[in-house]
Amino acid sequence: MRLDRGSEFCRWSALSAPGFQLEIDHNEVAEAFEVPLELMINEANYNRHEIEWEGRMEAYYAVEYEGYNIWGATAGMLRNLSRRMQT
């Protein structure tokens, strides 16, 4: 997937079994955490925000969970996934 600003990344989602131990690359992310699927598939949990970026207004979505702020491309992809799951 390519973002408007030229970044590219692979998106994926998974269900994990109890006791699953995730190993992260600390050069890529500071930490990883689990979020209940029920939270992410409820579109009402997504809040739309606007910010000025490089002289123009940009919109993004965000979801808060236990002190974490899931926002931007991550929230956008999860919101799109939730919409696809509803159809």
Q: What is the pTM of this model?
A: 0.73
pLDDT in tens, 46-80: 999 999 989 999 999 999 999 999 999 889 989 98
Q: Which pLDDT belongs to residue 48?
A: 97
Phi-psi region of 47 (alpha: psi -120 to 50; beta: other; left: phi over 0): beta
Output the six-digit token pair for 1.
């997937």
